[in-house]
Structure 1
């Protein structure tokens, strides 16, 4: 809502807290809430793990590794597809390609930055949109970021006064292509992340819906668990530059996440008299889903969320105080979720 309603302003540190606390939550979820339960369900020392082909190998890490590699291949294929579709790998020099690829990788493509890498125009033209990216992705600026529409309007006005309407049309075309490229890559990474989280939400709903005496302990823990995960994916979703024709998509993605667990709970309540969470088949299904989700969230958490923000982001803030805050948020999120693993 803050990206669409001008009067709604989220303080910078609140946004950074949600973004990086959520990243820590997602990484801890992969290890503590998914991979560990998978061992308890289909690991070597379980009923499933000591039966038939399940006894021949330690399957939880193998399944997690497989899903991690599949996500890597999907991510790589999506990035190559976008590069080929928009000609970024062929129409630029080696130096310009590297610059453009770096901006694409972090969802940071904007018209001014891409134009500068391609034609080396004066840097003052890139100032406003570049600050917009830093505000969303690295917290470099304290003032509110320009929306894509406002940034495009401001840049067009500057160029109209200096260079005429022909160049404005060219720059607008570049910006449209750049924003589309950024959207394609960011939404692909986000959908993979949400897919892994939704897998886990289904298991949580089934567990809560069939809980017995442990419900009073399980319920508040799962409420916190789902809230923290929602905080993390919501902060990531807010930074994706959705085109106007897809303005409905973020609402739909939020609804899918919010409704998955309640629907799973309703299903579990309907079959609780016949569903046995400790049965052989139930353990196989939940164990495979947990291990698969663990691999997905391990890749997205470590690569898409942490590595790309902290290690490979050329626009990362140089403010040590802000960096310390961001790192502490990651550690706090991971620590709290690891602690919740004691109960659920």
Structure 2
């Protein structure tokens, strides 16, 4: 020590004690030397605050690394990958986590029961209580379901797909609009299915109508009586109205099938990703998924219950509902089977999950906006409904969007 300055002596390994003091310190370029008692120059190093910082970092590195992950981080799971903000960089290797398999098997049946309650309740209510589709209760449930579907498409699926394709383990994508492109593909496919289905149903009904109208045209009375012309025109209009009605029944069933297809895609992923999440965040994620399944079940169940008896029998409705109730537990069962080697950070896994999420988002966006929101509010009864009914329906719609969007914070 010289005053407040501390110096480090540079020299060969000594077999005797270091001298207590050095004198006549001087510099040569960037190097500093002092003179020992023998009159020799000895190089010294000046210890600065930076040196102290580096040493402290080396000594405390192990302690710092152990606490860095827990400080300033907000973590939750996406597809079995712990997504953290404000923390250290995540690894792309498979992380060994603690998995309570017995707990996961037990909660599989809880998800099954919750999904069943959500999807079957509207169907049973409409079938056995004779609840009208125009009743305020049914309208409230349907608009709540519309809000759920819209939020699921954009807040849950599209956002999660974007996170998947933005994962650093996947590397930098050559096309930045990958998520939106797949979303658009799902939306277009939904439109194409609806359009071709409507054309096919209309073609069948027109063909059947043409066969029926040819029979009275052969009658002499039809040819000779001029008074038949107006009746024929009216009959044609009536038949066209019947075609529209029958087409509407078939179209409604097709729309529900498209909706269920989109829901089944991502419900399978929900079950899988729930199970492969580590025990640290499993219970929180499970509670969120529980509400998610209940809300989504109500949304789908209300749409199924809205099908007329001509479009779908009660048996058909129950089969559609059963498909939804089973798909998430099936995903959970698959997840339990692959727990020991599943790696959510593997590039192929990221691409597969991201693609299905974005595709499902496009499907649900089309159904939610075009077939549910626009049809009910721009073409359906809510366009001219009383203010009380309109207000309740709007409140229910917004509530569905808000609640499902809130769940998007954790799942």
TM-score by length of 2: 0.59
Aligned twin of 2:79: none
Once the two structures are TM-superposed, the CA of residue 76 in structure 1 deviates from its matched residue by: 1.0
Query: For 1:11 and 1:66, how far apart are their aligned partners in 2?
Result: 34
Query: For 1:336 and 1:281, how far apart are their aligned partners in 2?
Result: 32
Task: Say whether 1:48 aligns with 2:170.
Answer: yes
Query: For 2:283 and 2:318, how far apart are their aligned partners in 1?
Result: 31
Once the two structures are TM-superposed, the CA of residue 180 in structure 1 deviates from its matched residue by: 4.5
In structure 2, relative to structure 1, the CA distance for the partners of 1:332 and 1:2 (3 Å cut) is closer
In structure 2, relative to structure 1, the CA distance for the partners of 1:235 and 1:6 (3 Å cut) is closer
- Which structure has the highest helix share of the two? 1
In structure 2, relative to structure 1, the CA distance for the partners of 1:11 and 1:297 (3 Å cut) is closer
Aligned twin of 1:220: 287
Residue of structure 1 aligned with 2:139, choices 16, 39, 43: 16
Residue of structure 2 aligned with 1:77, choices 185, 189, 196: 196
Once the two structures are TM-superposed, the CA of residue 312 in structure 1 deviates from its matched residue by: 2.1
Give yes or no for contact 1:218–1:343 (8 Å, CA) kept in 2. yes
Aligned twin of 1:87: 206
Q: Which has the higher contact order (CA 8 A, sep 6+)?
A: 1
Matched residue count: 265
TM-score by length of 1: 0.70
Residue of structure 2 aligned with 1:199, choices 254, 265, 274: 265
In structure 2, relative to structure 1, the CA distance for the partners of 1:88 and 1:331 (3 Å cut) is farther
Query: For 2:264 and 2:373, how far apart are their aligned partners in 1?
Result: 20
Higher Rg: 2
In structure 2, relative to structure 1, the CA distance for the partners of 1:17 and 1:49 (3 Å cut) is farther
Aligned twin of 1:340: 407
Residue of structure 1 aligned with 2:150, choices 17, 27, 45: 27
- The alignment yields a C-alpha RMSD, in angstroms, of 2.9
Once the two structures are TM-superposed, the CA of residue 267 in structure 1 deviates from its matched residue by: 1.0
Query: For 1:20 and 1:246, how far apart are their aligned partners in 2?
Result: 23
Task: Say whether 1:238 aligns with 2:361.
Answer: no
Query: For 2:132 and 2:367, how far apart are their aligned partners in 1?
Result: 28
Aligned twin of 1:186: 252
Mean CA deviation greater in 313-322 or 332-341: 313-322
In structure 2, relative to structure 1, the CA distance for the partners of 1:324 and 1:85 (3 Å cut) is same
